[in-house]
Amino acid sequence: MGSAPRIAIDAMGGDIGPAVMIAGAAEAYQRRSDLHFILFGDEERIRSEHAKYPQLASACDIVHCPDVITAEDRPSQAIRRAKTTSMGNAIAAVKAGEADAAVSGGNTGALMAMAKLSLRTMPGIDRPALAALLPTLGQNDLVMLDLGANTESDARNLVQFAVMGAAYSRVVLDIDKPRVKLLNIGTEELKGTDELKAAAAVLREAEYLVMRFDGFVEGDKLSHGDVDVVVTDGFSGNIALKTIEGTARFVTDLLRRAFTSSVRSKIGFLISRPATELLRHHLDPNNHNGAVFLGLNGLVVKSHGSANDKGVANAIRVAARMVREDLTRKIIEDLDNIAAHRAQAAAK
């Protein structure tokens, strides 16, 4: 790898479709012109959007797909229509080696099901996981996984999530040895489920992994900036992620109500606008857009359905970064390391 990343884009996915997906591609290309795109979807609609960005002319191939996966499609229905849809063809391009990564803003469940079925799970990984970046008060974002690819996870899954999350944070956050914690309802060793305790016991011993395992973290400490990777089962992870989104919106809604509650507060708001814009920027989900399916034989990035140009550009940049840094190889190396140490320990 190391060459120009070729990104397969499901141009039809998301709330807006081609307009925002192609605008996002143009924005990402403006920053790094070594990108190449393959745009999947309705050719006519794609061409009319594509024509707006002359700079993209030579950077794109267009592949017509007659069908689209909707938000209402069940994963099982989506799978049956993989061959005719923009989403299915974007994933198939990764599988065929024609693209290095796929980006879609479409139905998450369908994307996950299609990606799993087509790309298959990496050797050494039992279940793929969904990972995303969350803002913190510290210098770096944090990586959290699993965010809902699995409803239940055992200790073995959690250890694999830790390995994949650590590799991912090394790539996207540029951290040599990420600090990894397990999400739990207390920090004492006795707290939590048997799965968590067993996973912690394995990670505590595994000094040969490229991470620093730091024990447990509670839900109220996620944003403190003292952890780089938070590992959790998919159920709790999804609850935590959505609760973060909901609470951030709740507080900013209250703030908006407060600032519009009187003429005086409106004036104060206008004066301090640059400050609140900063806050808005920090909390804007577009700046953290791009959730990643880890553990498959191929890279797939889920862009938020409501992401704007900037958000899509971010998701594309995440995909390109994983390609350039060869994330898949890094995960395989770590898994080989675990296997080698297990074999060594067994031989003793």
Binding site for its own copies (CB under 8 A): 135-137, 148, 151-152, 183, 185, 192-193, 218-223, 232, 234-236, 238-255, 258-259, 261-262, 264-276, 278-279, 282-283
CA distance linking residue 209 with residue 334, whole number of Å: 7
Q: How far is the CB of 217 from its own copies (least distance, A)?
A: 10
**Phi, psi angle pair for 296, to nearest 5°:** -105, 165
Q: How far is the CB of 6 from its own copies (least distance, A)?
A: 33
Name all contacts of 265-273 with Cβ < 8 Å and 24+ positions apart.
none
Of 118 and 232, the one with the shorter C-beta distance to its own copies is 232
Q: How far is the CB of 316 from its own copies (least distance, A)?
A: 25
Q: How far is the CB of 73 from its own copies (least distance, A)?
A: 12
**Max Cα-Cα span within the chain:** 76
Cβ burial of 19 (10 Å; 0-12, 13-18, 19+) is: middle
Q: How far is the CB of 261 from its own copies (least distance, A)?
A: 6
Of 53 and 259, the one with the shorter C-beta distance to its own copies is 259
Of 219 and 305, the one with the shorter C-beta distance to its own copies is 219
Of 176 and 220, the one with the shorter C-beta distance to its own copies is 220
Q: Please give the order of strands across the beta sheet that includes 229-231.
A: 60-64, 36-41, 6-10, 101-104, 299-302, 291-294, 129-134, 142-145, 229-231, 179-183, 212-217
Q: How far is the CB of 311 from its own copies (least distance, A)?
A: 17
Count CA atoms closer than 13 A to 116's CA, side-chain side. Answer: 18
Q: How far is the CB of 249 from its own copies (least distance, A)?
A: 7
Which H helix or E strand runs over 230? Answer: strand 229-231
Q: Which token pair is 184?
A: 């739990």
Q: Which token pair is 53?
A: 């960005």
Of 41 and 128, the one with the shorter C-beta distance to its own copies is 128
Of 14 and 234, the one with the shorter C-beta distance to its own copies is 234
In contact, 222 and 136? CB cutoff 8 Å: yes
In contact, 210 and 179? CB cutoff 8 Å: no
How far is residue 219 from each of residues 148, 195, 245, measured CA to CA in Å? 17, 18, 13
Of 136 and 337, the one with the shorter C-beta distance to its own copies is 136
Q: Which of 75, 4, 90, 80 is nearest to 39 (CA)?
A: 90
Instruction: Say whether 226 sits in a helix, a strand or coil.
Output: coil
Of 282 and 342, the one with the shorter C-beta distance to its own copies is 282
Q: How far is the CB of 189 from its own copies (least distance, A)?
A: 12
